[in-house]
Amino acid sequence: AVLDGNSQPLDLGRKRRLFTDYQRIALLVRDHGCRADGCQRTTGLHAHHKTHWTDGGPTNLANAITLCPWHHARAHDGSYRTTHHPNGTITYHRRT
């Protein structure tokens, strides 16, 4: 997808914590909605670091997925374990 006549960097490594507008657009084009298994939400999505920024995760497309606000909150809830699947979806399981 060509989003602008000017090339924009999409992989920022550890230089920035927050995703840029261009990265968010690229994520929406790639993911088509919330990546939580079974979620149909396609608007109001958040960009989420698969490996959290605080754990050394880079701010790039390979380490990012789109999540709806509800699933994004669950991804940061320590009472749930997040499983990333090869097809790009994620599931949550309550820790016991």
Contact (Cβ atoms closer than 8 angstroms) between residue 34 and residue 42: yes
Contact (Cβ atoms closer than 8 angstroms) between residue 83 and residue 37: no
User: Domain spans of the chain?
Assistant: 21-94
Task: Supply the pLDDT for residue 11.
Answer: 62
pLDDT surpassing 80 at residue 69: yes
Contacts of 53 (CB under 8 A, 6+ apart): 17, 59
What mean pLDDT is predicted for residues 29-44?
95
The reported pTM is 0.82
% of the chain surpassing 90 pLDDT = 62
Contact (Cβ atoms closer than 8 angstroms) between residue 3 and residue 24: no
